[in-house]
Amino acid sequence: MKAHIQKEPRCVLLWNFGPLNAGYDHLVRTASSFGLKVRSVRPAELSARVGDLCTGRHAPDGAPLPSPTDHAAMIISGLRHDDGSLGHFVDEVRRGGAAIALRAMVTPTSRDWTLDALLRELCEEHATVGGQS
């Protein structure tokens, strides 16, 4: 019996970062060159699981949650750290002028977290390292 290897969906979730932000167009072009689909996430999707958002599923209906942060965030799925693709993508996005303070890659653990929980965790980490981008 062959082992089934689950591939992560190739996408970039963007929080508080859109077409009016510097570097957005370059980010979209770079994502396309890496085979990543760009999806802007909204406050109504804070209760959705990160893995579901990456696969394009809609957020469940529920009471709106307060926004966990005003910082821009980029959550990347489908690129790998060990082959250099993740670092290359992030470097290229920065070169294009995008100022995104919070960045993360989707992991087997974080794919089951809600978007709200992941953004809160990223905010904590950001504060711990002194708010460096």
Domain count, the chain: 1
Whether 63 is covered by a domain: the verdict is no
Q: How confident is the model at residue 5 (pLDDT cuts 50, 70, 90)?
A: very low
| Amino acid identity for residue 14 in this structure | L
Whether 5 is covered by a domain: the verdict is no
pLDDT in tens, 49-74: 999 999 998 776 666 778 888 999 99
pLDDT at position 18 is: 97
Q: Residue 117's domain spans which residues? A: 11-55+70-128
Mean pLDDT of the chain: 89
Please state which of the ranges 33-37, 58-62, 98-102 shows the lowest mean pLDDT.
Answer: 58-62
Beta bridge pairs of residue 75: 13, 104
pLDDT at position 63 is: 66
pLDDT at position 127 is: 86
Whether 95 is covered by a domain: the verdict is yes
